[in-house]
Amino acid sequence: MTETQPNQNRTLPDRDAPIGVFDSGVGGLTVVREIIRQIPNEKIIYFGDTARVPYGNKSQETVTRFSEQIVRFLRTFQVKTIVAACNTVSAYAMEALERDIDIPILGVVKPGAKTAVSATRNGRIGVIATEATIGSQIYTKYITELNQNVSIYGKACPLFVPLVEEGLLEDPVTDEIARRYLTELIDIDIDTLILGCTHYPLIRSTLGRIMGERVTLVNPAYETARKLRELLTGRNLLCETPPGLGSNRYQFYVSDKADKFVRFANSIIKYGILSAKTVNIETY
Amino acid sequence: MTETQPNQNRTLPDRDAPIGVFDSGVGGLTVVREIIRQIPNEKIIYFGDTARVPYGNKSQETVTRFSEQIVRFLRTFQVKTIVAACNTVSAYAMEALERDIDIPILGVVKPGAKTAVSATRNGRIGVIATEATIGSQIYTKYITELNQNVSIYGKACPLFVPLVEEGLLEDPVTDEIARRYLTELIDIDIDTLILGCTHYPLIRSTLGRIMGERVTLVNPAYETARKLRELLTGRNLLCETPPGLGSNRYQFYVSDKADKFVRFANSIIKYGILSAKTVNIETY
């Protein structure tokens, strides 16, 4: 669009602005990984709320309050858009966040719902997510809007986030717990499973092994990054300049335990994250 | 002491003041249960930080900041003493809390250490607790002060709190995870195991079954309530009047999900807890 609208050069500074991404902890890094793959020129400011993780067993009011603090923090960086890379936030807080903001804000639920509807052949879609996301029925709502003939089976898996945050990505305990959570979805004969929490792609191989080859696993992170690219392109906000060397392209902030976060982040994003800064998010 | 010091009647209001008890979530209720058993005349104000649970995987700085907020909240009730019914707080924040306070404040670690030293026969004590409590080496410190000839083996069990908070008290998954955590303590041939997290007495039967009859399980809650009674007696602060009917003796506050807390609390304290109030603890 730049070529056809040369007079809109005043939007250029916005294009170079970073994208804000946040999650309750490390899960949102799976979305960051997809954003880096699909739109590698972008700068990213990431915030993980490691002092208050997990969100998935907390109330809508609390999750909304926490999210609003984080959005206020991210806006101090003049971000051009914000991605709530957390299904619980996307399920509970999107309306409140959208109401108060004048830049685009994207959740991960709608993109995931859309991909699942395209993927299913037998019309039986499973959703695994936190207690909060399942309780909100948000996936059921969006999927039904897209196709009324699809049946959706939700299953809360409250222990997956603690297991992932503890780094037990390939572990017999995770396997055992996953088996227990997934058995009923296998019995119901779903053919598509939405990984409805950004932590879950990190145990994707375990989930895939248990569900079997017939079941398509949907990772909303991929579709979210695609939608983000679309949105930025549509608004002439896509960064077209490859970042220079040493340009501090990705910045990571957490509310606690920066060292542990960095170790974990480096295992997810093969980029060489050197540091994360700690922020007292309660003051925002 | 009242009878021998009739002129100190001005201390009477203090005696009737409530005791403040707090924890990251529901675990501290195991301490409340013991306090009710041992000193049933006391009023109790309980705070559970359900919006920010768990504490055990967070940093000393964060746990201290959260604890200071809670102490400020409890003091609005003119409590006569405070019990930090959380091992992570006792390990990380006691010094900071004691520095700023002019009423007695009790942790759960010292009482537990003392009981374990009395209980062991072969001088091999195991401690299971959160990552934070084990990392602090606080049990090792206190036990060694009491008896240098005792060996202490610490094992972090980071998944027990999420399992208990999810209500999986008697569950094959909890059993499986406990087996994994405890195997090395069995191999080391400990004869005494400190349940170094106030959540753990809630899975005591599972832990006892796996450790076997030869191993004594130490629940610091019992010894903490005993020490509290001693402390209140010594300072002439023990409430001697049985509370009247309808006297709102036990009040429960949480930072999130009051309903879920009440259901859980009623399964721990067989008292008929009718309600818990939600507090925005970040404003204290």
What does the H/E/C string look like for chain B?
CCCCCHHHHHHHHHHHCCEEEEECCCCCHHHHHHHHHHCCCCCEEEEECCCCCCCCCCCHHHHHHHHHHHHHHHHCCCCCEEEECCHHHHHHCHHHHHHCCCCCEECCHHHHHHHHHHHCCCCEEEEEECHHHHHHCHHHHHHHHHCCCCEEEEEECCCHHHHHHCCCCCCHHHHHHHHHHHHHHHHCCCCEEEECCCCHHHHHHHHHHHHCCCCEEECHHHHHHHHHHHHHHHCCCCCCCCCCCCCCCEEEEECCCHHHHHHHHHHHCCCCCCCCEECCHHHC
Q: Is A108 in contact with A221 (CB distance < 8 Å)?
A: yes
| Whether A173 and B159 lie within 8 Å, measured CB to CB | yes
Q: Residue A197 catalytic?
A: yes
Catalytic residue among A94, A156, A197, A238: A197
Q: Is A158 in contact with A56 (CB distance < 8 Å)?
A: yes
Q: How far is A61 from chain B (nearest CA, A)?
A: 9
| Whether B166 and A177 lie within 8 Å, measured CB to CB | no
User: How far is Cα B21 from Cα B68, in angstroms, rounded to an integer?
Assistant: 13
A156 pairs with which residues across the strands? A129
In the A/B pair of chains, how many CB contacts fall below 8 A?
Answer: 57
**pTM assigned to the model:** 0.86
Using a CB-CB distance cutoff of 8 angstroms, which residues of chain A are in contact with residue B51? 52, 58, 62
| Whether A158 and B166 lie within 8 Å, measured CB to CB | yes
Average pLDDT over every residue of B162-167? 84
Using a CB-CB distance cutoff of 8 angstroms, which residues of chain B are in contact with residue A155? none
Instruction: Return the number of other C-beta atoms located less than 10 Å from residue B179's C-beta.
Output: 14
Average pLDDT over every residue of B70-81? 97
The whole-number pLDDT of residue A1 equals 39
Cα–Cα separations (whole angstroms), residue A57 to A158, A180, A213, A218, B202: 7, 19, 31, 23, 19
Q: Within the 236-255 window of chain A, which residues sit less than 8 Å (CB to CB) from chain B? A: 255
Q: How far is A30 from chain B (nearest CA, A)?
A: 21
Burial per residue of A9-35, b for 16 or more beta-carbon CB atoms within 10 angstroms, e otherwise: eeeeebbbbbbbbbbbbbbbbbbbbbb
Residue B136 has pLDDT above 80, yes or no: yes
Q: How far is B51 from chain A (nearest CA, A)?
A: 6
Q: Is the peptide bond before B40 cis (omega within 30 degrees of 0)?
A: no
Per-residue pLDDT of B30-41, as tens digits, reads: 999 999 999 999
Measured in degrees and rounded to the nearest 5, phi and psi for residue A136 equal: -75, -15
Q: Within the 41-100 window of chain A, which residues sit less than 8 Å (CB to CB) from chain B? A: 50-52, 57-59, 61-62, 65
Q: Is the peptide bond before B54 cis (omega within 30 degrees of 0)?
A: yes
B180 touches chain A (CB under 8 A): yes
B130 touches chain A (CB under 8 A): no
pLDDT interval class at B12 (50, 70, 90): very low
Residue of A178, A177, A137 lying closest to A154 (CA atoms): A137
Q: Residue A239 catalytic?
A: no
| Nearest residue on chain A to B257, alpha-carbon basis | A59
Average pLDDT over every residue of B98-103? 92
B158 touches chain A (CB under 8 A): yes
Per-residue pLDDT of B226-275, as tens digits, reads: 999 999 999 999 998 887 666 678 999 999 999 999 998 998 887 777 79
Question: What's the DSSP call for residue A78?
Answer: T
Average pLDDT over every residue of B31-55? 95
Q: How far is A103 from chain B (nearest CA, A)?
A: 28
Instruction: Return the number of other C-beta atoms located less than 10 Å from residue A280's C-beta.
Output: 13
Please give the structure tokens belonging to residue B115.
């009981």
Residue of A47, A111, A50, A94 lying closest to A75 (CA atoms): A47
Residue B153 has pLDDT above 70, yes or no: yes
Catalogue the active-site residues of B: 86, 197
Cα–Cα separations (whole angstroms), residue B203 to A129, A165, B30, B168, B213: 26, 22, 11, 9, 16
Contacts for A235 with CB less than 8 Å, ≥ 6 apart: A104
Please give the structure tokens belonging to residue A215.
């079941």
Residue of A108, A45, A106 lying closest to A78 (CA atoms): A45
Q: Which of B51, B59, B173 sits opposite A58 (nearest CB)?
A: B51
Q: How far is A198 from chain B (nearest CA, A)?
A: 19
The whole-number pLDDT of residue B8 equals 44
Q: Helix or strand or coil: residue A132?
A: helix
Chain CA centroid to CA B127, Å = 15
Measured in degrees and rounded to the nearest 5, phi and psi for residue A220 equal: -60, -20
Per-residue pLDDT of B102-130, as tens digits, reads: 999 999 999 999 999 999 999 999 999 99
B167 touches chain A (CB under 8 A): no
| Whether B256 and A163 lie within 8 Å, measured CB to CB | no
Selected from 3.30.70.270, 3.40.50.10240, 3.40.50.300, 3.40.50.1860, the CATH number assigned to the domain covering A6-107+223-283 reads 3.40.50.1860
- In this prediction, the residues of chain A whose per-residue pLDDT falls under 70 are 1-13, 244-247
Name the CATH architecture for the domain at B109-220: 3-Layer(aba) Sandwich (3.40)
B155 pairs with which residues across the strands? B128
Q: Do the two domains A6-107+223-283 and A109-220 of this chain adopt the same fold?
A: yes
The whole-number pLDDT of residue B213 equals 95
Which residue shows structure tokens 């610091």?
B220
The whole-number pLDDT of residue A245 equals 63
pLDDT interval class at B11 (50, 70, 90): very low
Using a CB-CB distance cutoff of 8 angstroms, which residues of chain B are in contact with residue A58? 50-51, 256-257
The whole-number pLDDT of residue A247 equals 65
Q: How large is the ipTM?
A: 0.80
Contacts for A268 with CB less than 8 Å, ≥ 6 apart: A26, A29, A30, A33, A202
Work out the percent of chain B whose per-residue pLDDT is above 70: 94
The whole-number pLDDT of residue A3 equals 42
Average pLDDT, chain B: 91
- Domain residue spans in chain A? 6-107+223-283, 109-220
The whole-number pLDDT of residue A246 equals 63
B264 pairs with which residues across the strands? none
The whole-number pLDDT of residue B247 equals 65
B183 touches chain A (CB under 8 A): no
The whole-number pLDDT of residue A194 equals 98
